[in-house]
Amino acid sequence: MTLAKICGLSTPETLDAAIQHGASHVGFIFFPASPRHLDFDRAAGLAERIPPRVTTVGVFVDPDDALITQAVRAGRLTAIQLHKTAPSRVAELRRSTGVETWAAVAVKTRADLATSAQYTGAADRILFDAKTPDTAALPGGMGVRFDWSLLDGHRHVLPWALSGGLDATNVAEAIARTRAPLVDASSGIEDRPGAKNVDKITAFLQAIVVS
């Protein structure tokens, strides 16, 4: 069965809904420019509600050591997801934190997919996300989807996940089209940026079960 990550959670109600309806991974964002940013106190409170069977993923954009250290501790993170972070830095953070480490690869063309090979030996998983415009404030969570046909014939060198514009209406198609082992949703399960909707979370996870 395809695994699911609900990302950008910030309230007990939405976190509980994700866990109750079968999310294998939940994501906390530590990036002040994001409307989904969590401070350490809120992350610590939410972390207390997460059972051991669920992987807690901290999401970062080229973070410094202090941010990573504090977030891993406060959020009880069992994985970190790194955006706009060079392979050497990903490898360094993987060694220093000792937790599962994901490298996000922004995709618009097949050449973008090829860059994932640079993370062999540095990351534990690749997250393929849609490439946002250079002028965008955020590297993800914009509701943008990339052309899934780009994945046809791509040789995956690491375990991987699919992100970018996923919601309850298209996730079954995404899984059937790409055979993604893990799917990741954020903006597609919100009423507005940063405001998750319990019903949309539930519908998204139920759509995966029947896919």
Domains of the chain, by residue range, sit at: 3-209
What's the chain's average pLDDT? 94
**Beta strands 190-192 and 195-196: pairing type?**
antiparallel
Indicate the CATH number for domain 3-209: 3.20.20.70
Higher pLDDT, 207 or 210: 207
Q: Residues near 189 by Cβ (< 8 Å), separated by ≥ 6?
A: 6, 167, 168, 196, 197, 200, 201, 204
Q: Which residue has the tokens 């990036």?
A: 31
Q: Which residue has the tokens 């919100």?
A: 190
Active site (catalytic) residues = 7, 129
Q: What is the pLDDT of residues 124-164, one digit of tens each?
A: 999 999 987 665 555 555 667 899 999 999 999 999 999 99
Q: What is the pLDDT of residue 209?
A: 81
pLDDT, average across residues 91-112: 96
pLDDT, average across residues 41-62: 98
Q: What is the pLDDT of residue 142?
A: 62
Separation between Cα atoms, residue 162 and residue 74, nearest integer Å? 27
**Cβ proximity of 9 and 196 under 8 Å:** yes
Q: Residues near 46 by Cβ (< 8 Å), separated by ≥ 6?
A: 9, 10, 12, 15, 28, 38, 75
